[in-house]
């Protein structure tokens, strides 16, 4: 993440790992609109958002933080479906932030039995992994798909319109990061 200059969330190397750093200026149009992740004039210094985490876990933690930031942009839902590893950092952070039940599955089609209690048999919100297209097929009509991975396979416009699905990306990671305590950072890094 540290080499991406199009977002304000970056990493800073330390002696034993990395620290997630926010470089948002706080004053540009994007920051004023609440989209600090997309700051138009990032600062040079920035401020730390996390404790030191292992370099090998930084990408997963950034992805988890972005996924939860996207989840914060959608209406609360009774059930949130997370596409990914049940023991991964994203699942762990989503469980900590979601108001309702969290179902985690590596196969979005096979999870139908777990969602049988939902009126439509589908979750209203899906946190997509690398397959946003599959997430659009798994979410209920009119639902929301949270997409945090810029390399995710995206659905076509036709698929979005036909299913009346809204894709949602992260706007602000600072608010989410401030709510993650040291213990949760450590647990997510170990996941």
Structural domains of the chain ordered from first start: 63-168 (3.40.50.720)
Task: Kindly give the pairing relationship between strand 79-83 and strand 47-48.
Answer: unpaired
Using CA atoms, how far apart are residues 5 and 12, in angstroms rounded to an integer? 13
The pLDDT assigned to 32 comes to 95
The mean pLDDT values, 10 residues at a time, for the chain of 191 residues are: 67 93 95 94 94 93 95 92 93 93 88 76 90 92 94 94 95 93 92 86
For the chain, strand residue ranges (E) read 9-13, 18-22, 47-48, 79-83, 101-105, 125-127, 144-146, 166-168
pTM (predicted TM-score): 0.91
């Amino acid at each position: 993440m540290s080499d991406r200059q199009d977002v304000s969330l970056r990493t800073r190397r330390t002696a034993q790992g990395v620290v997630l750093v926010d470089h948002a200026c706080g004053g540009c149009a994007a920051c004023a609109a609440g989209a600090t992740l997309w700051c138009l004039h990032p600062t040079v210094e920035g401020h730390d958002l996390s404790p030191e985490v292992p370099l090998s876990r930084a990408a997963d933690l950034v992805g988890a933080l972005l996924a939860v930031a996207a989840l914060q942009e959608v209406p609360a839902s009774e059930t949130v479906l997370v596409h990914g590893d049940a023991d991964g950092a994203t699942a762990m952070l989503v469980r900590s932030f979601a108001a309702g039940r969290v179902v985690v599955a590596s196969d979005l089609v096979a999870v139908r039995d777990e969602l049988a209690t939902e009126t439509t048999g589908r979750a209203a919100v899906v946190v997509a992994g690398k397959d946003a297209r599959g997430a659009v097929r798994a979410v209920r009509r009119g639902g929301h798909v949270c997409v945090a991975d810029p390399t995710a396979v995206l659905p076509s416009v036709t698929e979005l319109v036909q299913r009346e699905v809204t894709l949602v990306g992260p706007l602000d990671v600072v608010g989410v990061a401030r709510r993650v305590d040291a213990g949760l950072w450590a647990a997510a890094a170990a996941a």
